[in-house]
A and B are shown apart, each in its own frame.
Chain A
Amino acid sequence: MGRITLDKVSKSFGDVEVIPPLDLTIEDGDFTVFVGPSGCGKSTLLRLIAGLEDTSGGHIRIDSQDATHVPPAKRGLAMVFQSYALYPHMSVRKNIAFPMKMAGVSEEEQRRRIDAAAKALNLTDYLDRRPGQLSGGQRQRVAIGRAIVREPAAFLFDEPLSNLDAALRVGMRLEISELHKRLRTTMIYVTHDQVEAMTMADKIVVLRAGHIEQVGSPLELYRAPRNTFVAGFIGSPKMNLIEGPEAAKHGAHTIGVRPEHIDVVEENGIWQGTVGVAEHLGSDTFFHIHNTGLTDTLTVRALGEVTLSHGDTIHLSPRAEQIHKFDAQGLRIE
């Protein structure tokens, strides 16, 4: 079981309040992602749950037990760090065995769980190596193995893929998602990468300056961002946010249209502009469009290969039903 409840949890470093009191419930078995720009307090929040930082106020409950003042060792959570944080003087086998040794698991049981974890993570051939002799991806697998064997109430991941190269990152992302499907254990995952958040999460928690901006499933956040911050943060490329007369036409202070919700038309588009940079990805083409009179740069996604080059005039039609409206405070208008 691993239901985690934060009740008015806050954190200050000296006079600086990095997390104002916040409430959050993480359901048992959920894959929850904390996402936000750097410095938004997402890692601090994770460290509060882990017990590596003391709360300045509020209560943390793990499976309805008050864990606010329980030391990290006794919370029954496992953590995977960005830097892997393996024990450099121990072999892979000993690294994985360490939490079980601390918990007093019998040697026989330790061996059984190590073998199972090594098999699941493709580490069987590396059990007698030291972390220094492994690649980044393998090291991260060892860190995950070390977390799995202790059979924790929840896994905490602190930007675990940031140190890996792009190709490896995609692979490990899938591995972690598969691990979650198999174990069905609560996982909390911190990242600044909204693609990771969208692809892995059951539930995303968007944070800014210690505040929770929105909580919801990836598609909820994509379809109905609660404010302009979430609107701009979730989705790639970013949503176009337009202010001024065009927004006023829709009775809003700001309107938002995602690049994929603007169609490129032959002529008589509602909007028009000149093509700036075109990014050809094969499956899609992203156009950065200037001189629209709406914003500095409007991003548009066209399916497939579209042959328009720099300086060409382009006609555009936003899909009316996909226009998001926000008021002067940046809040969504339904």
Chain B
Amino acid sequence: MARAVTSKRKIINTAAAWTVGLLIFFPILWTILTSFKTEATAIADPPVFIGFEWTLANYATVLERSDYARFLWNSIIIAGGSTILGILVAVPAAWSMAFVPSKHTKDILLWMLSTKMLPAVGVLYPIYLIFIKLGLLDSRTGLVIVLMLMNLPIIVWMLYTYFREIPGEILEAARMDGASLKEEILYVLTPMAVPGIASTLLLNFILAWNEAFWTLNLTAAKAAPLTAFIASYSSPEGLFYAKLSAASTMAIVPILILGWFSQKQLVSGLTFGAVK
């Protein structure tokens, strides 16, 4: 039964939701605002919220000083590549775990997730050495592989949860209807799993896009993505707040737009299985 919601309660709920939303969004908003300030206004005390002279000078400087297009392209390649590679590995893995589980499937899933509990820096040294040996330092290929491996447990878990929701009887019906394994996957399973695969793709693209630990540690110039582009504007003196904000804004805008247009997919993906 639906709970009765009074109008007063509704107003309180709405206000609370907006407050939380704004609190979470505030740092991003502040970054965007700062990017339009002069360096002096950016560090003004007390801080100026809106009433300042808006300028695009920071963007001009940043674009002039750095090759934004190259960083953007690297980000796209690394995030896109690791996501696609991850899906290619994870789909068959999740498939077999969901539809032909063994006694140890649960253990494997938990073990995979446990790797996410290890601080990344714990494996930095060995991975760095392996990268040197294989000549993968500062290469997009190397980052694609590392980020794919980092996100793989999440991809497999998400897809596994999705596939588990597909009733086995429907697959059996397809078999009874004369479908071969290939036809069963092509005509029945995949169309039913498309929303799940899509939201998994999206989430992992966003995770890979924002990943900073490995991208900063394993790249120098050639393969550096937007996270490195932001980092190049931070300095201990804090003199370039406005430019740093401009760089950050430029780095997050593409992913923000992608996230905005796909929010329905994302939310349904994250809550799948929990809410039916």
Q: Please, how many angstroms separate the alpha-carbon atoms of A60 and B192 in the complex?
A: 33
* Smallest Cβ-Cβ distance to A78: which chain B residue: B176
Q: Please, how many angstroms separate the alpha-carbon atoms of A81 and B169 in the complex?
A: 7
A79: chain B residues at CB < 8 Å are: 172-173, 176
Of B167, B178, B191, the residue contacting A103 (CB under 8 A) is B178
With A89-B191, A98-B187 already in contact, the answer to whether A52 and B175 are too (CB < 8 A) is yes
* Smallest Cβ-Cβ distance to B173: which chain A residue: A85
* Smallest Cβ-Cβ distance to B180: which chain A residue: A73
Question: B177–A146 contact, CB under 8 A?
Answer: yes
Q: Please, how many angstroms separate the alpha-carbon atoms of A85 and B172 in the complex?
A: 8
B174: chain A residues at CB < 8 Å are: 87, 98
Within B174-231, the residues touching A (CB, 8 Å) are 174-180, 183, 187-188, 191-192
Q: Please, how many angstroms separate the alpha-carbon atoms of A74 and B176 in the complex?
A: 8
Q: Please, how many angstroms separate the alpha-carbon atoms of A170 and B188 in the complex?
A: 32
Question: B191–A50 contact, CB under 8 A?
Answer: no
Q: Please, how many angstroms separate the alpha-carbon atoms of A150 and B170 in the complex?
A: 17
Q: Please, how many angstroms separate the alpha-carbon atoms of A72 and B173 in the complex?
A: 10
Question: A99–B192 contact, CB under 8 A?
Answer: no
- What's the tally of chain B residues with a CB closer than 8 Å to chain A? 17
- What's the tally of chain A residues with a CB closer than 8 Å to chain B? 25
Of A52, A85, A86, A102, the residue contacting B178 (CB under 8 A) is A102
Question: B167–A99 contact, CB under 8 A?
Answer: no
Of B172, B178, B191, the residue contacting A99 (CB under 8 A) is B178
Interface residue A39 (Cβ < 8 Å from any Cβ of B): no
Interface residue A77 (Cβ < 8 Å from any Cβ of B): yes
Interface residue A71 (Cβ < 8 Å from any Cβ of B): yes
Over the window 146-178 of chain B, the binary record of Cβ atoms lying under 8 Å from chain A Cβ atoms (1 yes, 0 no) is 000000000000000000000101101111111
Q: Please, how many angstroms separate the alpha-carbon atoms of A87 and B173 in the complex?
A: 9
* Smallest Cβ-Cβ distance to B166: which chain A residue: A88
Question: A77–B178 contact, CB under 8 A?
Answer: no
B interface residues, Cβ below 8 angstroms from A = 167, 169-170, 172-180, 183, 187-188, 191-192
A interface residues, Cβ below 8 angstroms from B = 50-52, 71-74, 77-79, 81-83, 85-89, 98-99, 102-103, 146, 150, 156
Closest 5 CB pairs of A and B: A102-B178, A99-B177, A85-B173, A85-B169, A79-B176
Q: Please name 28 pairs of A and B residues whose Cβ atoms are closer than 8 Å in the assembled complex, sorted by A.
A: A52-B175, A52-B176, A72-B176, A73-B176, A73-B178, A78-B176, A79-B173, A81-B169, A81-B172, A81-B173, A83-B167, A85-B167, A85-B172, A85-B173, A87-B170, A87-B173, A88-B192, A89-B191, A98-B174, A98-B177, A99-B177, A99-B178, A102-B177, A102-B179, A102-B183, A103-B178, A146-B173, A150-B177
